[in-house]
């Protein structure tokens, strides 16, 4: 029988699993797991006999780094192998002050099929378990040390795997382990209305980002098929509901595609969608992926002039706008590029 991994258990769950061991032993094990150890033998405050017993019954981690690539800008991309042979990717981003952010995946592949995203072109295999989500952060910490922030913006749609993601976030934030502040965790969704309302009602209280890209309904449906079941008016109502419950500013992300969604009318549509919401607009110049496009025409990067015009038009309407600068493109680790390393598997 395959051994069970325990990295995806919350402390109360782990305490129950390890009974009749006393609760303080479970807390010791939980703390060691949060430090990223991969074997029970490394848990030096446990007796040798207990370490051997636990090692015969359980795995500490069930995933492993299979490839690491580093960009000249400091970005590190990890390919992580899962027990069933599938692979996912996680990314470590470094800002100008040296702070590190871990970009975490929640699914093998992605079912959303956004026209501008490499991951969406690969198809979908399955949701990640709580252990597979949790261990990505530990792998990132092993490679790069302290992680300041977590963004759930990797492969997959997080709100379609919310239960396992919730468990992972509970593990990361537990003061008995890493004690990661939930204010430092951001979930990015393509706009799953039911998931946004669930997050508003059930928590946890984390930051929310929505990949809007365009507020033109017809164009958004063409670029992001999720729009068909999650139309823009209902999406906006869900965001209003989220803010009424959690009182947090929401980030609206717009991937800018040269000549596609960078017109004046596109900026005005985003401004109209944002009206009545407490939001910040994050403009993301599209990161090239070969062969991606719509209506027989490949996408191209937006020009600086297009980006500057979008910024100006939105700011003129009183919106706070940030421009995401390209990180990780040299290793296909930038937004929309994940899933490029050899060996990725979706059958």
DSSP annotation of 277 reads S
Number of H helices, E strands in the chain: 11, 16
* Neighbour count for residue 127 (Cβ, 10 Å): 20
Instruction: Say if residues 228 and 190 touch (Cβ distance below 8 Å).
Output: no
Residue 335 among the catalytic residues: yes
Question: What would the two tokens of residue 338 be?
Answer: 């994940």
Catalytic residue among 62, 89, 157, 306, which? Answer: 89
Instruction: Say if residues 336 and 290 touch (Cβ distance below 8 Å).
Output: no
Q: DSSP strand E in 11-63: where? A: 58-59
Catalytic residue among 110, 114, 117, 335, which? Answer: 335
Instruction: Say if residues 213 and 223 touch (Cβ distance below 8 Å).
Output: yes
Cα–Cα dist 64/59, whole Å: 12
Residue 89 among the catalytic residues: yes
- Quote the Cα angle for 91-93-98, to 5°: 150
Residues catalogued as catalytic: 89, 335
């Amino acid at each position: 029988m395959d051994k069970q991994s325990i990295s995806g258990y919350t402390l109360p769950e782990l305490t129950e699993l390890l009974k009749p061991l006393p609760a303080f032993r479970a807390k010791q094990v939980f703390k060691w797991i949060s430090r990223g150890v991969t074997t029970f033998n490394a848990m030096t405050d446990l007796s040798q006999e207990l370490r051997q017993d636990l090692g015969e019954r359980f795995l500490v981690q069930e995933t492993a780094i299979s490839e690491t690539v580093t960009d000249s800008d400091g970005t590190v991309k990890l390919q992580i192998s899962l027990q069933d042979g599938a692979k996912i990717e996680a990314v470590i981003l470094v800002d100008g002050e040296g702070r590190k952010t871990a970009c975490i995946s929640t699914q093998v592949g992605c079912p959303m099929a956004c026209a501008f995203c490499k991951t969406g072109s690969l198809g979908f295999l399955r949701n990640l378990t709580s252990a597979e989500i949790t261990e990505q952060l530990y792998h990132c910490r092993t490679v790069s040390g302290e992680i300041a922030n977590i963004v759930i913006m990797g492969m997959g749609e997080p709100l379609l795997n919310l239960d396992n993601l919730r468990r992972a976030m509970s593990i990361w934030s537990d003061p008995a382990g890493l004690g990661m502040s939930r204010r430092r965790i951001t979930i990015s969704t393509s706009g799953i209305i039911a998931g946004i309302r669930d997050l508003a009602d059930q928590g946890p209280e984390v930051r929310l980002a929505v990949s809007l890209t365009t507020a033109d309904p017809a164009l958004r449906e063409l670029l992001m098929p999720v729009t068909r079941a999650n139309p823009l008016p209902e999406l906006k109502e869900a965001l209003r509901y989220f803010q009424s419950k959690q009182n947090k500013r929401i980030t609206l992300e717009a991937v800018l595609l040269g000549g596609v969604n960078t017109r004046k009318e596109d900026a005005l549509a985003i401004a109209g969608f944002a009206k009545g919401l407490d939001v910040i607009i994050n403009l993301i110049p599209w990161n090239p992926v070969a062969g991606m496009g719509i209506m027989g025409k490949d996408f191209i990067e937006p020009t600086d002039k297009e980006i500057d015009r979008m910024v100006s038009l939105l700011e003129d309407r009183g919106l706070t706008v940030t421009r995401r600068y390209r990180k990780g493109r040299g290793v296909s680790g930038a937004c929309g590029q994940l899933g490029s390393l050899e060996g990725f598997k979706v059958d």
